[in-house]
Structures are given as structure tokens and as C-alpha cells.
Amino acid sequence: MESEDCSFDEIRARKVVTSLLKKDAIIYRKLLPEIEKLDSESFEILFSGEAEYNYNIKNINFLKKLLIKFDNFLYILYSWYKEDKYYKYLEELWLKYPSIKYLRVLESEKELADRL
């Protein structure tokens, strides 16, 4: 039986975040230079959408909104960020910003595919 690698791959995560934010709203793109400078621990915490952390980023209001978005996509990001084949889907979902909480209650893959 093959075990799933649950370790955090910072290099791939940074690649995904950079890609997503470069295409996102300007308020998030402006945060990118500061996000790229985050240390490893801070970046992993940001990737998981943790709001109760001091990121030492100037525009805290925009950051809070971005953290809500990261939190919303937590399950999809962690499931897909290590695989290049999912990047285009991540980008599409990230930019359209559906509420994942409401998608999780759909009962079948077909319902989920139809909704997306």
C-alpha cells in the first residue's frame, strides 16, 4: 500500500501562491512582494489561512481578506498544490472564488462537477 506524502512542500507551495496572486485582484497582487519574503514557518501558516498570526505585513486589512480566501481553499490547495496537472483548475477556482464550504455538502461528484 502506497502512503500519501503529507509533508509541506514549500517550493511548490510558493510557486502556486505566486501564480495565483499574480492573476488575482490588485489588492492581493500588491501583497505578493511581502509574501515572497516570508520565512518558511510564516509562509506555511499563511498557506493554511491562519488569521491569528503576526505576518509582519504592512497592509493588514488586505491580508485579512486574503487569509479568508486561503482558508476557503485550504482543502483544495493541500490536495492539489503538489501536482502541476491541477494548477489550471486551482487558478480557475481561485479567480472565480466559490465558497468551498457550500460545495462540500454536495452529495455526488456529478453534483460537484455540475456546480463548478
Per-residue pLDDT tens over the stretch 29-44: 999 999 999 999 999 9
**Is the Cβ–Cβ distance between 19 and 81 less than 8 Å?**
no
For the stretch 48-93, pLDDT in tens is 999 999 999 999 999 999 999 999 899 899 999 999 999 998 898 8
Say which residue, 99 or 106, is predicted with more confidence. Answer: 99
Is the pTM for the entire model greater than 0.85? no
pLDDT at 2: 46
Q: Compute the chain's Rg from CA coordinates.
A: 15
User: CA 24 to CA 37: how far, in whole Å?
Assistant: 19
Q: What is the mean pLDDT of residues 96-102?
A: 60
Q: What is the mean pLDDT of residues 104-108?
A: 52
Number of alpha carbons in the 13 Å side-chain half-sphere of residue 17 = 28
At 109, the pLDDT band (50, 70, 90 cuts) reads low
Q: Which residues contact 20 (CB under 8 A, 6 or more apart)?
A: 90, 91, 94
At 106, the pLDDT band (50, 70, 90 cuts) reads very low
At 100, the pLDDT band (50, 70, 90 cuts) reads low
pLDDT at 114: 60
